[in-house]
A and B are shown apart, each in its own frame.
Chain A
Amino acid sequence: METSTFLMLIYVFVLASFVGFELINKVPPTLHTPLMSGSNAISGITIVGALVAAGQGDSFLSSILGFIAVIFATINVVGGYLVTDRMLKMFKKK
């Protein structure tokens, strides 16, 4: 990895962290649980890495590890979004 590429990734990381800080500061306590579960589902984005790892097909060990990673990340993603939606469905105005 080029140093300039690496620095660019650091830039992205720092800026995205700031966005994260700004976004959450205004969330009311009512929504803390769904927010946590929703952001938890987003952390399942690691599935992108899992897909690539599982599909490379040239190292058996990598494929197996990638395969388990796909399962784990998919549970996180699918379960996370569904459970968040179930919670949010209940927050309706009377």
Chain B
Amino acid sequence: MELIRTVVIPVVYLVASFLFIMGIKWLSSPATARKGNLYSALGMFLAIVVTLFDQHILEFHWIMIGLLIGSLIGVILALKVEMTAMPQMVGLLNGFGGGASALVGMAEYYTHLHHGFPADPIKLTVAIGLSLLIGAVTFTGSLIAFGKLQGLVTGKVVKFPFQNPLNVLLVLAVITLIVMGIIDPVNQWLYIGLVGISLLLGVLLVLPIGGADMPVAISLLNSYSGLAGAATGFVIDNNMLIIAGALVGASGIILTQIMCKAMNRSLMNVLLGGWANAGSAAADTASGKDLVVKSIDSEELAMLFSGASRVIIVPGYGMAVAQAQHAVKELMDLLQKNGTDVRFAIHPVAGRMPGHMNILLAESNVPYERLYALEDINDDFRNTDITLVIGANDVVNPAARSNASSPIFGMPILNVDYSKTVIVVKRSMNTGYAGIENELFYMDNTLMYFGDAKDAIGRLNNELKGKA
């Protein structure tokens, strides 16, 4: 038995850590990604199985019932979710992970309360405090993110008076409670209070973040859930938890940074609700000048497309909500049959999650070689006959290049306005999530094609089929 505890379990944990690292490494290429995910899952399976041999585990019925219930819910959620709902799904799962870390922190606290704390409790209580704080913030923060994306909570930027001072105050309160918990570890109310404040903090931190910034928020929460796991690793003195948690924590931070760079904004700016007062700048561009938009119907559009040899499609959140990805794929097929070169330009923060558009297009069987990242395609718009923008707003707004007073000034955008003709598929003239007026719509080479993305592309496809 001693051999299991001192050798077998740590060695299997090492193997699992190795599998997690390889898994993430292989996730970085479409060719090996599925294998990578499988390796990572295998690592998790090994870790779970070998943990069951831990000599501290005396009762199995709770564990078995818990594993069964959790697996059932996990399988149902994973198989039922629509690809368009993936951002909120990942957000929700993330929340469960964070919640689990906080619960383990609390359970460990009560175990120590029962069996006594070490003579020098500082390291233990700080670790418990951190796992409670980060875990609880991740839990409620992710639930709010889920609610926002699912439409249960407003997707708008929520501002209230003394917002930031209040958050600072709550963080200070948490730190105070951790310090008091070190001094008086047997006072359970300090820890319960800590959890309560952290849960509130999670809500308050994510509530002000607008829908357009959700990719950043989700990625950051993902990072937190990793850090919560690592903190739990410190609580139970377990290397594997620390390794896995640190991997996730670091990768989440990097992704967050990549996204902030894609929006040319600092993380602080996102967290404090950056685009909140975008309304005033919007008025400047639109009013004063007598701007007119030209609209086009499906018949004319089909004629335009039959004469085009190079087309770039720019998908945005509008395509996702309308579930138009399959219609878009059909359009690609029709155009290709006609000899047209069709490519897709994907802005790094298009949609509600990084890479959201790639997933939707992959779902509708668009080969990933057809998808181009911003820096790989931006110079090609000049030589493009038609750029079709489907439900994207802010990522194609030329104001980011030209209007220094615009809130998105400096953000790298897709240069769709350089192409010969721009078609914008949109339901109405409403502004995008950032709430900023878009000059692109009023340009001479821009034609508006109004309608729900799925509907509009469907009508276009029918016209094109009629021509064939």
What residues of chain A have their CB less than 8 Å away from a CB belonging to chain B?
1, 3, 5-6, 9, 12-14, 16-21, 23-59, 61-63, 65-91, 93-94
- Interface pair B24/A38, CB less than 8 Å apart: yes
- Interface pair B103/A21, CB less than 8 Å apart: no
B36 to chain A: which residues have CB within 8 Å? Answer: 38
Q: Which of A23, A52, A75, A82 has the most CB of B within 10 A?
A: A75
- Interface pair A46/B21, CB less than 8 Å apart: no
What residues of chain B have their CB less than 8 Å away from a CB belonging to chain A?
20-21, 23-25, 27-31, 33-34, 36-38, 40-41, 44, 47-48, 51-52, 54, 56-60, 62-63, 65-67, 69-71, 73-75, 77-79, 81, 83, 86-87, 89-90, 93-94, 96-101, 103-104, 106-108, 110-111, 113-115, 118, 123-124, 218-219, 222, 225-226, 228-230, 232-255, 258, 346, 348, 353-356, 358-359, 362-363, 365, 367-369, 371, 373
- Interface pair A29/B354, CB less than 8 Å apart: yes
B240 to chain A: which residues have CB within 8 Å? Answer: 45, 48
Number of A-B contacts (CB under 8 A): 409
Given A28-B373, A51-B63, A61-B110 contact (CB < 8 Å): yes
- Interface pair B23/A52, CB less than 8 Å apart: no
Which of A17, A42, A74 has a CB less than 8 Å from the CB of B40? A42
- Interface pair A70/B66, CB less than 8 Å apart: yes
**Least Cβ–Cβ distance between A76 and chain B, in angstroms:** 4
**Least Cβ–Cβ distance between B216 and chain A, in angstroms:** 12
A66 to chain B: which residues have CB within 8 Å? Answer: 62, 66, 103-104, 107
Q: Please, could you name 11 A-B residue pairs with CB atoms under 8 Å apart, sorted by A? A: A32-B255, A35-B28, A36-B218, A42-B44, A48-B241, A49-B238, A51-B48, A56-B59, A62-B111, A88-B33, A94-B365
**Least Cβ–Cβ distance between A33 and chain B, in angstroms:** 4
Q: What is the bound-complex CA distance between A50 and B25, given in angstroms?
A: 27
Q: What is the bound-complex CA distance between A33 and B241, given in angstroms?
A: 23
| Residue in chain A with minimal CB distance to B44 | A77
Q: What is the bound-complex CA distance between A14 and B348, given in angstroms?
A: 29
Across the A-B interface, the 3 shortest Cβ-Cβ residue pairs: A74-B70, A20-B250, A78-B74
Q: What is the bound-complex CA distance between A65 and B188, given in angstroms?
A: 15
B51 to chain A: which residues have CB within 8 Å? Answer: 48, 51-52
Q: What is the bound-complex CA distance between A21 and B252, given in angstroms?
A: 9
**Least Cβ–Cβ distance between A82 and chain B, in angstroms:** 4
B241 to chain A: which residues have CB within 8 Å? Answer: 45-46, 48-49
B236 to chain A: which residues have CB within 8 Å? Answer: 48-49, 52
| Residue in chain B with minimal CB distance to A85 | B37
- Interface pair B57/A52, CB less than 8 Å apart: yes
Give 5 A-B pairs besides A24-B255, A32-B348, A81-B44 with Cβ atoms closer than 8 angstroms. A9-B234, A38-B36, A39-B248, A40-B94, A69-B66
Given A45-B47, A75-B96, A53-B355 contact (CB < 8 Å): no
Q: Which of A19, A58, A78 has the most CB of B within 10 A?
A: A78
- Interface pair B24/A46, CB less than 8 Å apart: no
